[in-house]
Structure 1
Amino acid sequence: MPPRNTRGAARQRPIALAIGAALTCILVLSPPPHAAAAAATVGMPGAAQTLEAYHEVSAWVRAWDAPAEPSFVDPEGAHSASVTLRLSGVIVGRGTEVVTDGTAVWRAARGAMLQATERAPVARDALRDEALRDTAQRMTIDVQIGGAMIPLAGATFSDAANQVSHGVEGVAARVGQRVRAYFPGALLSANTSSAQGLIAACADLDLPPLGLDTLRADHGVILYRFPVQHLAQTEPGEEPVFLFRGGRVLSHAAVSERTLRDASRAIVRHLMSRELRRDDVHVMMGDYQPWLDSYDPLVASPVQRALTAYALFRHASGGWVDRADGVRAARFAWTQLDLIAAHDKASLRDPVVASAFIAAAAHAGARPPGLRDRDERDDDALLAAALRTLDAYDPDAGWDNAIPDAARALVAYALSVGAGVIPDDLSPPDETRALARSATRALFRETPPGMLVAMSPWLGWAELALLDEGAPVPAATALREMRELVWRHQITVADAGDDAPDFLGGVVFTASRSMLPNWQAARPVALLATMLADPRLTDADETGAELARLSRSLRFLLQLTVDDALMHMFRDRDRAIGGVRASPWDQRLQIDANVATLLAIDETLRATAALRETRP
């Protein structure tokens, strides 16, 4: 289960970090002034004492010599501790202890070091102790200290987990005097939910795999959540940083043209890092799992490759993009289309793949040097894609039932921009645009206002692509209403509170399975950025308020990108850095999330540049 819904409830149970002024130079999260009082209320260990405990652990690890006798270094209020040691991002040792006698940190550190002694890639010879000390200098240290245990109600594990702020609080299970706990950092770094953590804690207590109500009745199990102070190194030898949900919380002020440009470049590099070359064939890998350093699926689907090409072609044309970077992005994009043409032509029978291919081809521009020469395979692929896209909608018969409702907007968009690439003898440009106009109008007629978000950004972009400059927008009212609907569901400072500051600017889609914000916000944000710079859809006196709202959602999207603070739990920096996570608690780096976020950021950069020219 994802973390519980914090809208409204966030203010009832704030979880904040109490930070002394002397420590702010190393902190990632700056707490509000009342953080110390809030921490004391919920039994959160103090930040200053947590840092002192961390430095004790660091000294033991670097010397590879923890005290043999108990060391009472726990912060006041500590009820548990977890110490994790990583080598090149791989966990080599972890110790977790639940005790209240002041020795939890010492016990956890010894457990982690004992495990690392067995797992570390060090030869078992006379020089082993010296080699272990040398290896310890390259380890990163992760320390989590838990506060008071708070019982969880609920008839099922899911019900209990819904009361947990996933990634912020730990979970535990007790039977008699035995307790097993899972800390938030461990759950996040394994991409495991709080519900799964509770089930695992019960399994660690040797309980049978039964329902929670049965375990309570027959075995007396009690479930808990508990607040956690989390400190970790991002690189060996560096000072640790305090983490919130495994990373740092970006302030609203962090959103600027510079940070957006940096994020755009980073996402492009991340997407291009998926390239795998084998026998002169370039393959794009699928969704990346940074905690495992693996891809699932191994190879990206044709529609993912086509949409990646589309986003990279648009990125390459951005006025802020360095020419060399633009050429590299365009070359990678062309490679994806070439691969579909040469090896996946059959996939173009799918109207969604065909439409994505046409949309990308319409924005491709000239082929950069270094690619294979264009040949009949490319012409055949373009013809196949055009035929399937044109067949997807008929003005009289309507839509092909095989096309999902949300995907129909992409078809309409492909038709609206495809007149320049669809062969004239197949469909003259005027006929293609007429078909696109009919498809677009049909979607606006048939789609309830609340569902237009699901068709973003494609339907709105299709509408605008069909219009002459300055012409009235037929769907202006519908698009404005959709924008207001998005902003009504945007998480504000009051909604997020101290409990979920990283959710600020996210959008809660009530029709989705998750009632919490995730990367899907990028899809409407991309369209709303376009609308911001269009005077037909945003009046001059609305620009300031719209830009502020857009900026909040961009803050959330930047929050999802992998930065240095998050790298403490990932294995391969080159593959992970800059990628967009599925959500603050879901570490998957999906192609769809990265493409949508790249489009949203790049469209915002275009919009702000246009506003400077037209509304100085």
Structure 2
Amino acid sequence: MIARLMLTLGDMLRVLTTLAGGAARRAACRKGYLLGLITVPFVARAQELPSPQDSMAAARQVVRWVRAGAVEGSGPELTGVCVTIRLDGRVIGRGEVMGEAADALGEATRVAIERSLSDLPADWDVRSEAARARLCVGLELAGPLIPLDGASDMELALGVSPGLDGVAVRMGTRLAARFPLQMLPARENVAMALRSLVAELADDPARGLAEFAELRQAGYTFYRFRTVQMAQLDPRGAAFFLHRGGRVIEPDEIDMALLREMADGLAVHLLHRQWPGMEGYGFMGTLDPVTGKAERLFSNPVGQGLGISALCTYIRSRHADPGIADEARRAVNELVLELAKVEEGEAEPWSDAASSAGVVVALLDAQPWLEPDIESVDVLRDRCTQRVVESFSPQAADFAVGVDENAWGMLSYAMVRLAQAGQGGIRPEQADAVVRATYRNTPPTRLVSHFPWLGWADMALAGDGAPVKGSTLLLDTRRRIDEHQLDALNLSPDDRDLSGAVVYTTGSNPLPDWNSIRPLPLLADMLADQRLTGGTLSQGEASTELGHLLGLVRYTRQLCAESSDGHMYVRPERATWGVRMSLWDPRMPVEASALALEGACRTMAAVEALAGRTGGSNAGADGAQSP
């Protein structure tokens, strides 16, 4: 029997690049093919890192020095050290030493303390022990430097695992380094970090713009290194060991209690994302928790609609916390009123088909909690409905010219919901034509880009009991997702925090990010529907699919920020439970948290539906229909 071999992220990327070839791989990525984990042999590289005992002793020493405001004595001999001092989540001092310094720990701490003094509040008394006790310390201890191969940005990145590895550049006897927990909150990729270090060594910003092949010829050498990561989460507590800046969510943590906690936490996070001022901005834009600020004052109309719909799903969940649900009802009404009021700089919700579709669905979801007879809401509904209706030509049985193909799935669902509500003059057969056109015009390998909306539309059209017309393609797409889901058995221990993610992309970077969770809400609904998934919790297709679903839930939970990530955030209470773009990009789009909330609520419902089954055939396989 051939044993499964573990791959690091760097190994996975290297294999993909080597086997696919540059042009072929880029073409495959542009077409959106699912990229799976390729299991091939590789040579493991030993990471000679400081032991846990030595690391903990070093952390205690640094905390004592920072509390005292001075370095007294010396620490152990280390390859490299980065000490970060934070005040209320904000970095006020950082010191890094790389390259077998005699007292790297003490020197890095000394530099961090000196730099922190210039960035303290005006009323700060540095002599006060109570004041210094508010400081939190972060620490990274470096392993050996390992040369990086490659002459291009992508080739150099292949050997580096983001969030775990730092990079360094040597020129002659001089060495400069960027540690992983410096790169992660700054969203600095490998090429950016290396070019910045080159410019630093050359004392010339323009030098960092040269090609890497040219820099190698000029004498620059590039390295990567792994670190032990530690940080205080509370000024009064000990430093904790971290993995990619946080902690790994273990599979056995995923149960109904955690799903309820996820749903409550995600709902509260979305409530915190409302604009607090007088302007009608609704949800704020993508949050950067490192700075505590939103990239824009307001989210786009699609994000607004998804957020409203997700809160409505939470309100309807029987597992919702009553107090949070009451707050969500109030917020839903406010958010719709704010969406109907287009502020200066905002895009009109009816300006494009995708935005209009998202708003139409949100208005239908929110109807029970909206104030009646609000003229601005009626205008919003009419204009968005008109835009949705005009996006499809019944005569041609196809989408109108100029409609973005990425909007087809959302338009399909909006059309079905309008038909069910008796709005917009849409008949069920017209809505059905839109759904069939989406299936017909989309290559099977791209159908996942229309999840969850296309599947929701098809299931809603069928109603209760009748076969789902597109079940064959829905089940085939689920199979593709299952096949390309990262399994902990195929990953190195260092990359186990990626297990459950689905690796697919429309760009050139196959690393998993928040887009992995897009199909989660639909996969939960498909699992609960006996027309699409037969069996029970303990046997048959349902048991297998539940395992895949919970794996994706685990990865979703991994993307949610928690207290262990809060050491990097200015206002961790506002960031907690927000879904990050990836494990190495802390930004939080509203859309990501909205779909995660949909997924958590629907997964709870699916588990309960399975628990109520006493048997059943494999209806998902036997009852498949063509679209």
TM-score (normalised: structure 2): 0.87
Deviations 1:346-368 (A, max 9, x none): 43142222211211122224226
The residue aligned with 2:368 is 366
2 CA distance for matches of 1:39 and 1:164? 14
Whether 1:202 aligns to 2:198 is yes
| 1:154-173, Cα deviation, whole Å (9 max, x unpaired) | 11243212211111011100
* Structure 2 CA distance for partners of 1:323 and 1:101, relative to 1, 3 Å: closer
- Can you list the C-alpha shifts for 1:352-390, whole angstroms capped at 9, x where unaligned? 22211211122224226xxx6632222222121221111
Task: Report if the CA contact (8 A) 1:39-1:45 is conserved.
Answer: no
Report the Cα distance in structure 1 between the residues aligned to 2:399 and 2:520, rounded to whole angstroms: 27
- Look up the match of 1:54: 59
Q: Is the Cα–Cα contact under 8 Å of residues 92 and 119 in structure 1 kept in the other structure?
A: yes
Structure 2 vs 1, CA of residues 407 and 380 (structure 1 numbering), >3 Å: closer, same or farther? Answer: same
Using the alignment, how far apart are the partners of 1:294 and 1:242 within structure 2? 27
Q: Give the aligned CA root-mean-square deviation in angstroms.
A: 2.2
Contact 2:475 2:532 in 1 (8 A): yes
1:208-607 map, 5 Å? 208-209=207-208, 210-218=210-218, 220-279=219-278, 281=280, 283-343=282-342, 346-367=348-369, 374-397=373-396, 398-421=398-421, 423=423, 426-427=424-425, 431-540=426-535, 541-607=540-606
Superimposed CA distance per residue, residues 416-449 of structure 1 (whole angstroms, 9 cap, x where no aligned partner):
11235454xx41xxx4322111111121122221
> Whole-Å Cα distance in 1 between the matches of residues 63 and 341 of structure 2?
55
5+ long unaligned stretches in structure 2: 1-7, 16-42, 616-627
> How far apart, CA to CA, are the structure 2 residues paired with 1:608 and 1:433?
31
Deviation of 1:341 after TM superposition, in Å, equals: 2.1
Deviation at 1:279, TM superposition (A): 3.4
Deviation per CA, 1:373-417: give whole Å up to 9, x if none. 632222222121221111111232210232221211101101111
**Aligned residue number for residue 170 of structure 2:** 174
Counterparts of 2:386 and 2:160 in 1: how far apart (Å)?
A: 51
What one-letter code is carried by the residue in structure 1 that aligns with 2:149?
A
The one-letter amino acid of 1:42's match is Q
Question: Over residues 535-561 of structure 1, what are the superposed CA-to-partner deviations in whole Å (9 max), with x where a residue is unaligned?
Answer: 111111211111011111111110000
Question: Partner residue of 2:68?
Answer: 63
Tell me how far 1:144 sits from its aligned partner: 0.5
8 Å Cα contact 1:270-1:577 kept in structure 2: yes
Once residues 558 and 139 of structure 1 are traced to their aligned partners in structure 2, the CA distance between those partners, rounded to angstroms, is 29
Alignment TM-score, normalising by the size of structure 1? 0.88
1:42 is the counterpart of 2:47: yes
Matches of 1:410 and 1:466 in 2, distance apart? Answer: 14
Report sequence identity in percent: 29
Aligned ranges 1:97-112 → 2 under 5 Å: 97-112=97-112
How many Å separate the matches in 1 of 2:109 and 2:609?
56
Distance 1:406 1:54 in 2: 49
Contact 1:440 1:459 in 2 (8 A): yes
Task: Evaluate the alpha carbon distance shift between residue 385 and residue 511 of structure 1 in structure 2; reply closer, same or farther with a 3 A threshold.
Answer: closer
Query: What is the one-letter code of the residue matched to 1:60?
Result: W
Tell me whether 1:155 sits opposite 2:154 in the alignment. no
The answer to whether the 8 A contact 1:519-1:597 is kept is no
Residue deviations 1:204-244, cap 9 Å, x none? 102513111111212x0001001111110111111111111
Distance 2:251 2:386 in 1: 46
- Distance in structure 1 (CA, Å) of the matches to 2:10 and 2:98: 28
Q: Tell me if the contact between 1:5 and 1:516 (Cα under 8 Å) persists in the aligned partners.
A: no
Match of 1:130 in 2: 127
The equivalent of 1:31 in structure 2 is none
Q: 1: distance between equivalents of 2:160 and 2:131?
A: 37
- Cα distance in 2 between the residues matched to 1:94 and 1:312: 40
Q: Does 1:114 align with 2:114?
A: yes
Contact residue 409 and residue 453 of structure 2 kept, 8 A: yes
Question: Which stretch of structure 1 is more off in the superposition, 508-517 or 298-307?
Answer: 508-517
> Aligned-pair distance for 1:88?
0.3
2:95 corresponding residue in structure 1:
95
Structure 1 residue 39, shift from structure 2 partner: 11
Secondary structure of 1:154 counterpart: coil
Superposition deviation, residue 134 in structure 1: 3.0
Report if aligned partners of 1:337, 1:357 keep a CA contact under 8 Å in 2.
Answer: no
What SS does the corresponding residue of 1:227 show, helix, strand or coil? strand
Aligned counterpart in structure 2 of residue 188 of structure 1, from 184, 195, 210? 184
1:357 is matched by which residue type in structure 2?
A: V
Taking a change above 3 Å as real, the CA distance of residues 550 and 461 of structure 1, as seen in their structure-2 partners, is same
8 Å contact 2:497–2:558 — kept in the other structure?
yes
Distance 1:373 1:459, change over 3 A: closer
* Amino acid corresponding to residue 108 of structure 1 in structure 2: A
Q: Secondary structure at the match of 2:336?
A: helix
Match of 1:86 in 2: 86
Specify every segment of 5 or more residues in structure 1 that has no aligned partner in the other structure, as ranges.
Answer: 11-37
* Aligned-partner SS, 1:258: helix
Q: Which amino acid aligns with 1:142?
A: G
Read off the aligned partner of 1:534 and give its amino acid letter: D
**1:240-299: per-residue Cα shift (whole Å, max 9, x none)?**
111111110111111111111111111111111122233374632110001111111221
Equivalent-residue separation in structure 1 for 2:328 and 2:215 (angstroms)? 55
- 1:123 and 1:447 map into 2 onto residues whose CA distance is 62
Cα distance change on mapping 1:5 and 1:65 into 2, 3 Å: closer
Shift in CA distance, 110/280, structure 1 to aligned 2, threshold 3 Å: closer
Corresponding pairs, count? 569
Q: Structure 1: which amino acid aligns with 2:288?
A: Q
Residues 225 and 393 of structure 1: CA distance in aligned 2, closer, same or farther (over 3 Å): same
Q: Which residue number in structure 1 is paired with residue 620 of structure 2?
A: none
| Secondary structure at the counterpart of residue 231 of structure 1 | strand
Q: Distance in 2 between matches of 1:346 and 1:280?
A: 15
